[in-house]
Amino acid sequence: MASALTDRLSRLVKTMRGQARITESNVQDMLREVRMALLEADVALPVVRDFIARVKEKALGQEVVGSLNPGQALVGIVNKELAATMGEGVADINLAAQPPAVILMAGLQGAGKTTTTAKLAKHLIERRRKKVLTVSADVYRPAAIEQLKTVTKQAGAEWFPSAPNQQPRDIALAALDHARRHYFDVLLVDTAGRLAIDEALMAEIRDLHATLKPVETLFVVDAMQGQDAINTARAFKEALPLTGIVLTKLDGDSRGGAALSVRQVTGAPIKFAGVSEKIDGLEVFDAERHAGRVLG
């Protein structure tokens, strides 16, 4: 299927007609279009620069310069490079741990952590036949604890109670103990988020990580966050050894360029995509399909 980028490049190539062959400067012009497309998709500027440099190296080879249809050849290279940058095959949840396998959910407030916790619980129950317990370590917002209780019930998982007067670490230890004694396969730990990065939040989640030794530490990030996603990702990557990313709200109208930024900054695979507010709105991330969306 022709993307908007293909159309733009085709128009550009028409203006090159009559020349004996595509030149390096033509490739530069085409790369400028790719750069615009990525910026429009909200890929962060430093990430765009790196990406264009990689594509340029490939494009200057025979593939584009000697091609009958240089626009399409370049789109092919861009697509391939985008998919390779965003993923390497399907990265499912790792549960290879002495049960219960602990999964720690990290991210800003509103990113979709609580919703994703329940979606993931449902996924693990239905697809992996696991016995799943959830707990909230968000002691700042009693409503968040209640919200997790509600969505956990919808997911058909079990919920472990916690309260605002407890310490997150104590909640974690109590939930872990309960999960062990009742033979749960997986413990999903929802954590507090803030509207912006803050040191106290990072210290708290680092402590939770040290206490729980999770097999997965998932960074939940809102695809609509756009350019800012790179700063959030960097802060969480510095605080925690992230093992995966969940990109939420891909049902929105963003082109999802955040995927590229977050992947590059954290080095962690994008494991899932949130595609609706509903409990079953979670998909295994498909890098190739997403590459097409980013290009528009």
**Binding positions for ligand GDP, rule: CB under 6 A:** 107, 109-115, 193, 248-249, 251, 274-277, 281
Q: Which is nearer to ligand GDP, 71 or 193 (CB)?
A: 193
E strand or H helix at 135: strand 132-136
Q: How far is the CB of 278 from ligand GDP (least distance, A)?
A: 8
> Is 108 among the annotated ligand-binding positions?
yes
Phi, psi angles (nearest 5°) of residue 273: -125, 130
Q: Which is nearer to ligand GDP, 75 or 137 (CB)?
A: 137
Q: Which is nearer to ligand GDP, 269 or 281 (CB)?
A: 281
Q: Which is nearer to ligand GDP, 244 or 274 (CB)?
A: 274
Q: How far is CA 103 from CA 25, 45, 60, 106, in A?
A: 50, 32, 44, 10
CA 99 to chain CA centroid, nearest Å: 26
Which residue's Cβ lies closest to ligand GDP?
Answer: 274
Q: Which is nearer to ligand GDP, 115 or 152 (CB)?
A: 115
CA 216 to chain CA centroid, nearest Å: 14
> Is 191 among the annotated ligand-binding positions?
yes
> Is 66 among the annotated ligand-binding positions?
no
Q: How far is the CB of 54 from ligand GDP (least distance, A)?
A: 30
Q: How far is the CB of 138 from ligand GDP (least distance, A)?
A: 8
Q: Which is nearer to ligand GDP, 6 or 162 (CB)?
A: 162
> Is 194 among the annotated ligand-binding positions?
yes
CA dist 33 and 149 (Å) reads 48
- How many other CB atoms are there within 10 angstroms of residue 70's CB atom? 23
Residue in 112, 152, 82 with CA at minimum distance from that of residue 251: 112
> Is 190 among the annotated ligand-binding positions?
yes
CA dist 210 and 202 (Å) reads 12
**How, if at all, do strands 158-160 and 186-190 pair?**
unpaired
42: left (phi over 0), alpha (psi -120 to 50) or beta: left
> Is 117 among the annotated ligand-binding positions?
no
> Is 112 among the annotated ligand-binding positions?
yes
The dihedral built from the CA positions of residue 37, 38, 39 and 45, taken in this order, carries a sign that is negative
Binding-site positions for GTP read 107-114, 190-194, 248-251
Which residues does the annotation place in the binding site?
107-114, 190-194, 248-251
